Structure 1
Amino acid sequence: MDPAFTPLTTADTPAWADLTTVLARADETEEFYSAEDLAEELAEEGVDPQRDTWAVRDRAGDGIVAFGQVRVRVRAELLHGRAIVLLGGGVHPDWRRRGIGRALMDRMEARARELAAGRHPGAPVTLRNPGGLETDPVRHLLIGRGYTLSRYFVQMERSLPGPTPAPPGPTASSATPPSATPSSAVAGYRIVPFTAALSAGTHRARNAAFADHWGSTSTSEAEWADLIGARSFTADCSFLAVASGSGKAAAGDVHAFCLAQDWQDGQLYLALIGTVPAARGVGLARACIAASLEAAVRRPDTEGRPRFSRASLHVDADSPTGATRLYRAAGFAAVKTFATFTRDLPVRSSRSIPPS
């Protein structure tokens, strides 16, 4: 019996989460998701689960053995004149080499063309797909379909508590005890926790900080709301560098940030770290990271024990800001290298698809 391809629904999220756990372990991605996380993905702006997602059922129809997703960000800017389409998915190891991956890619690429042409009429299209580790079998599938390896991203980790970055300064050592407080580490700035009142300023800082990063475009207000409203977002471990008004920067402006997420037991994920170009080089990001790590050490779980035993992040291997050096100085070490593959498509005309 051939497997059945059906859209993902909220009722599927427990089985879908089970599959992502299997894939995270088998392919060593460590991308673990809860059913609640996946339900949020289905509800994101611009996602039509009926047309943009696929579940492949086992013969009994109970379990999910593969899935696929396509996303074209709503109101996203073109990147160097091209529309970017994000593809993703996976096949259970026991169900590989049966043509399921190829069948999923056929469906995803067809929908990708339609979405991109509708939201960015006349623009050429670039498909972007994660390529995993060097041993991931998906790479053979992607290369066979005309994708090329475009970028490497490094996963870095460190233990907690451990040392935290020293406050920036001419006499600062490379590390200080976890009890150090970086809240006044940089003259003219305060290092403060993320709050709703600072959300808009942090959003502006994010767009400014990532403007020169590979593959990045501005985040819309709706996308930002999804990010900070997600179950995984951890506001009390997210810190900002806010201008105090004693220097050239206007008081209250957010110039750097370290935004944290809680995806799996024991690990704090530093999802977004950045500094606006005009404020780089004075240690703002390092101070924000230090504050986030300290907060993580202090955060208890439901039984009063330390919630986090390690912290992790991903960084572009060719980051123009020298971020890898910053993270090494903060105690992080490279543990894995992942690849991103892309494929450029010619222009196809299509009717316009509404933004939401």
Structure 2
Amino acid sequence: MTVRWGSLSAECVREWAQLTNLLATVDGAEEFYEAEDLAEELIEPGVDAVRDTVAVWDDGALIGFGQLGVKRGPPSGNLSALLVGGVHPDHRGRGMGVRVMDLLEARAMQLGAERGPGVPVHLRVPGGIEDASVRRLLEHRGYAIERYYRKLERPIPGAPVAEPSVAVTPYSAELSEQVRLAHNDAFSTHWGSTPRDPLRWQSYVGSRSFRPDAGFVSLAADGRVLAYTLVCEWVPGEAWVDLVGTRQEARGRGLARACLSASLRSMAAQGYTAAGLSVDSENAQGAGALYSSVGFELQRVVASYGKVVPALG
């Protein structure tokens, strides 16, 4: 048995997808990815796949991985680092998860020192469902639950969805920049959210998973986007309502509901079989009630762990 440590690369995305999807089932997170979608994550803006990822091999089989992404954002203007990874269930208990975390945390602090000298780093890690084995590891390392996220689903077509109560417009590439600006305004008060710059936004709307033909927007008289729903697809036949938002000035007018209703009707017309989404359990804008009103039901609750580490030096 020979264990080799390295980085994720385009050459191993098939094995990476197989491991990711196995863990999605075993650990109950049910977040599945195609190899082509994972390949795009290695070339996202700001990602150095060689230094920002970890791959663990055992006799040619990928048995563990880790990913890191760093950006500036809440809380308190800290640098925010998202650490994601996993170890094959047959190889747990050998200290691999600990070493993956060691490597990712060290890299996060290095990037923090480069991108925000003197600024604390907020480390965030998905904590999975209740009793997930990763929670013990995280708590031992000083992480604590910061947030719970509710994963909701509904069948498509499912219960009939009323026509939008106000006029909406299909998403188009010409509206992309206006949607970005609306999104940054809408999410400026959301915990843990950071503004999307044009480069990151173009990476998002140009991704393989993005489904422009299921997105809708509500426009102001001056052409600005006031509300929007954007959709992705990671599992064939299943739509993921990825972003829903309303500019702060336009809240309380049913605009997001209209966009979401139009998206659900479009999904049905396109032959999707299900739709899912994730919502912060402490969402202050009442998003949970909105989603329940159009037929989404709770499937599972996952936790987000975090800790703030002082800057190096």
TM range, smaller chain: over 0.9
Q: 1:149 to 1:222 in 2, by over 3 A?
A: same
Give the 5 Å matches for 1:96-245.
Answer: 96-166=92-162, 181-182=163-164, 185-186=165-166, 190-243=167-220, 245=221
1:330 pairs, out of 276, 294, 298, with: 294
CA contact (8 A) 2:56 2:63 kept: yes
Mapped partners of 1:162, 1:134: distance in 2: 29
Deviations along 1:190-240, whole A, 9 cap, x unmatched? 311110110010000000000000101111111101110000000001111
Mapped partners of 1:265, 1:8: distance in 2: 24
Mapped partners of 2:74, 2:125: distance in 1: 17
Mapped partners of 2:106, 2:4: distance in 1: 18
CA contact (8 A) 1:165 1:287 kept: no
How many aligned positions are there?
Answer: 313
* TM, length-normalised to structure 1: 0.86
Structure 2: tracts of 5 or more residues without a match: none
- Code of the residue aligned with 1:234 in structure 2: it is R
Q: Indicate yes or no: 2:66 matched with 1:68.
A: yes
Deviation at 1:260, TM superposition (A): 0.3
* TM, length-normalised to structure 2: 0.97
User: What SS does structure 2 have at the residue aligned with 1:72?
Assistant: strand
1:38 matched residue in structure 2: 38
Deviations along 1:155-184, whole A, 9 cap, x unmatched? 001111023444xxxxxxxxxxxxxx32xx
Deviation at 1:2, TM superposition (A): 5.2
Structure 1: tracts of 5 or more residues without a match: 167-180, 246-250, 300-305, 350-356
Q: 1:93 to 1:18 in 2, by over 3 A?
A: same
Mapped partners of 1:2, 1:120: distance in 2: 39
- Code of the residue aligned with 1:203 in structure 2: it is R
- More helix per residue: 2
2:278 matched residue in structure 1: 314
CA contact (8 A) 1:164 1:293 kept: no
1:279 matched residue in structure 2: 250
Mapped partners of 1:252, 1:46: distance in 2: 32
- Code of the residue aligned with 1:272 in structure 2: it is L
Mapped partners of 1:82, 1:164: distance in 2: 44
Deviation at 1:15, TM superposition (A): 0.6
Find the structure with the greater CA-based Rg: 1
Runs of 4+ in 1 over 4 A off after TM superposition: none
Mapped partners of 2:74, 2:191: distance in 1: 13
2:232 matched residue in structure 1: 261
Give the 5 Å matches for 1:7-86.
Answer: 7-58=7-58, 60-61=59-60, 63-73=61-71, 76-77=72-73, 79-86=75-82
2:223 matched residue in structure 1: 252
